[in-house]
């Protein structure tokens, strides 16, 4: 990979900006006017370009369609009061994309391609970063197999792309979750720690079943014993029991190493909040709900930052949680993270890159 590489920019002749209602943004429905694209051919990333957003031509034998050799990321760009664009922890997403890629036999994306591609897309589609409070531009980098071949083997060709989509608040309302003890999102030795497309396909059926019963998300348990709580939907999950913040460790390879999770833990230490990175059992959770010791439960992820949990179903029984007080840890952490993301406070940890 040459240090110096050129991105060809082709701008579209029309824009969707005028037609987009930034006051009513649903997650993932609108994409910006352009996209970044790169090809991996003959062992080399090349053809770096910004193009008008448009459908791709797909050969029906494309390897991704059949075998799901594909990984992705999700991160956000925020606009501060001075109109500058702030991207939160993009380097961490770049690193995680490559960790996921490695697990799926996909060639890694050099850091400078990821960063320059993102910078260039943000420059061309700068006006797509919403000005409305609580809104942001969601960025979706992804890599997928591009071979047109029906045999199973790692593809020889790939595409790396970055899309951008303006978004509002993800989970405005606190969510109801159900502890899943039949299906599993991940198992030890599997691909749970990777942001691999297939993980999400496999989670749809159990999640849909729970939604039909009136729950927003699942609380995933470990695939072997279903006794240990791992994640919630597509978020990491945290509990405050007796003043202690508890979240599952990421050492088993079954849990995605959430960047929000890491940020919350960093700030929790700074705030003097006791933290235990350990597996909470379903039994412990049930006991804490029965005894009233469960003070807070919430998901953490890029889409929502913090998603408050209002109800947990365990083995068919619904437990309502106390309403979160304005002084609750989850409320304070959400505010602290938002303040960093929107550039309202000092960026002590160097999490922000300005554009
Ligand atoms: N777990 C899963 C399975 C996810 O898809 C996500 C979203 N990326 C997360 C956790 C949260 O990760 P992050 O905080 O990096 O968005």
- Return the domain boundaries, the chain: 8-167, 175-341
Q: Does residue 254's CB lie within 6 angstroms of at least one atom of ligand 1?
A: no
Domain at 8-167: CATH code: 3.30.470.10
Ligand 1 mean position to 144 CA, how many Å? Answer: 19
The C-alpha angle 188, 190, 192, rounded to 5 degrees, equals 90
What are the beta bridge partners of residue 314? 317
pLDDT in tens, the chain (355 residues): 555 789 999 999 999 999 999 999 988 999 999 999 999 999 999 999 999 999 999 999 999 999 999 999 999 999 999 999 999 999 999 999 999 999 999 999 999 999 999 999 999 999 999 999 889 999 999 999 999 999 999 999 999 999 999 999 765 689 999 999 999 999 999 999 999 999 999 999 999 999 999 999 999 999 999 999 999 999 999 999 999 999 999 999 999 999 999 999 999 999 999 999 999 999 999 999 999 999 999 999 999 999 999 999 999 999 999 999 999 999 999 999 999 999 999 999 999 999 9
Burial class from Cβ neighbours inside 10 Å (0-12, 13-18, 19+) for residue 109 reads buried
The alpha carbon of 122 is separated from its chain's Cα centroid by a whole number of angstroms, namely: 19
Output b/e per residue, 228-246; b: 16+ Cβ within 10 A: bbbbbbbbbbbbbbeeebb
Tokens, residue 191: 């691909």
Q: Using CA positions, which residue lies closest to atom 2 of ligand 1?
A: 234
302 lines ligand 1 (CB under 6 A): yes
Distances (CA, A) of 339 to 79, 204, 300: 12, 33, 16
Q: Is there an atom of ligand 1 within 6 Å of 79 CB? A: no
- pLDDT (0 to 100) of residue 171: 57
CA-to-CA dists, residue 191 to 157, 182, 200, 226, angstroms: 22, 18, 11, 17
Distances (CA, A) of 335 to 81, 343, 347: 16, 12, 14
d(CA 95, CA 15): 32
Cβ 261 under 6 angstroms from ligand 1: yes
**pLDDT for 173:** 87
Cα separations in angstroms, 250 against 102, 262, 303: 17, 10, 20
Instruction: Give the 3-state secondary structure of residue 127.
Output: helix
Q: Is 335 helix (H, G, I), strand (E, B) or coil?
A: helix
CA of 193 to the centre of ligand 1 (A): 10
231: phi then psi, degrees, rounded to nearest 5: -145, 175
Instruction: Give the span between the Cα atoms of 153 and 43, in whole angstroms.
Output: 15
Tell me how far the alpha carbon of residue 256 lies from the centroid of ligand 1, in angstroms: 6
- Cβ–ligand 1 distance for 235 under 6 Å, the answer yes
Strand partners, 217: 177
Pocket lining: 236 vs ligand 1, CB cutoff 6 Å = yes
Give the CA distances from residue 4 to residues 48, 135, 223, 311, in Å, rounded to whole numbers and listed in that order.
Answer: 12, 34, 46, 53
How far does the centroid of ligand 1 lie from the alpha carbon of residue 10, in Å?
A: 32
Taking the C-alpha atoms of residue 11 and residue 60, their distance in angstroms, rounded to an integer, is: 29
Q: What ligand 1 atom has the least distance to the C-alpha of 203?
A: 3
For residues 157 and 219, what is the distance between their CA atoms, to the nearest angstrom? Answer: 37
Rounded to whole angstroms, the Cα distance separating 337 from 347 reads 10
The C-alpha angle with vertex 134 and arms to 245 and 171, in degrees rounded to 5, equals: 55
Beta strands in the chain (DSSP E): 8-9, 34-41, 44-52, 70-72, 75-79, 85-88, 136-145, 158-167, 175-180, 217-221, 229-232, 235-241, 244-247, 275-277, 294-301, 305-314, 317-320, 352-354
Positive or negative, the Cα torsion across 105, 221, 218, 330?
Answer: negative
Question: What CATH number has the domain spanning 175-341?
Answer: 3.20.10.10
CA of 259 to the centre of ligand 1 (A): 7
Instruction: Find out whether the beta carbon of 191 lies less than 6 Å from any atom of ligand 1.
Output: no
């Amino acid at each position: 990979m040459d240090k110096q590489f050129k991105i060809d920019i082709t701008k579209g002749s029309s824009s969707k900006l005028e037609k987009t209602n930034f006051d009513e943004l649903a997650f993932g429905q609108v994409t910006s006017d352009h996209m970044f694209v790169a090809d991996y051919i003959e062992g080399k990333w090349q053809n770096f370009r910004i193009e008008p957003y448009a459908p791709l031509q797909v050969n029906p034998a494309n390897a991704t369609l059949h075998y799901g050799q594909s990984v992705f990321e999700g991160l956000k760009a925020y606009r501060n009061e001075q109109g500058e664009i702030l991207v939160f922890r993009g380097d961490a997403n770049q690193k995680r994309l490559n960790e996921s890629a490695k697990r799926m036999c996909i060639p890694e994306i050099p850091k400078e391609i990821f960063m320059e591609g993102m910078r260039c897309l943000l420059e061309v589609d700068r006006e797509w970063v919403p000005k409305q409070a609580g809104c942001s531009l969601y960025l979706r980098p992804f890599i997928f197999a591009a071979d047109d071949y029906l045999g199973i083997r790692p593809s020889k060709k790939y595409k790396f792309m970055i899309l951008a989509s303006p978004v509002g608040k993800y989970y405005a309302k606190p969510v109801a979750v159900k502890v899943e003890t039949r299906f599993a999102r991940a198992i030890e030795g599997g691909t749970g720690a990777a942001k691999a497309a297939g993980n999400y396909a496999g989670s749809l059926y159990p999640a849909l079943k729970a939604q039909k019963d009136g729950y927003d998300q699942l609380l995933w348990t470990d695939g072997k014993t279903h006794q240990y709580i791992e994640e919630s939907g597509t978020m990491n999950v945290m509990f405050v029991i007796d003043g202690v913040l508890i979240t599952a460790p990421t050492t088993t390879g079954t849990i995605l190493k959430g960047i929000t999770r890491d940020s919350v833990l960093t700030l929790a230490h700074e705030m003097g909040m006791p933290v235990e990175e350990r597996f909470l059992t379903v039994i412990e959770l049930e006991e804490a709900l029965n005894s009233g010791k469960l003070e807070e439960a919430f998901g953490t992820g890029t889409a929502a930052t913090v998603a408050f949990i209002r109800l947990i179903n365990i083995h068919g029984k619904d437990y309502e949680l106390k309403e979160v007080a304005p002084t609750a840890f989850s409320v304070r952490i959400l505010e602290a993270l938002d303040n960093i993301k929107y550039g309202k406070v000092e960026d002590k940890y160097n999490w922000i890159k300005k554009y």
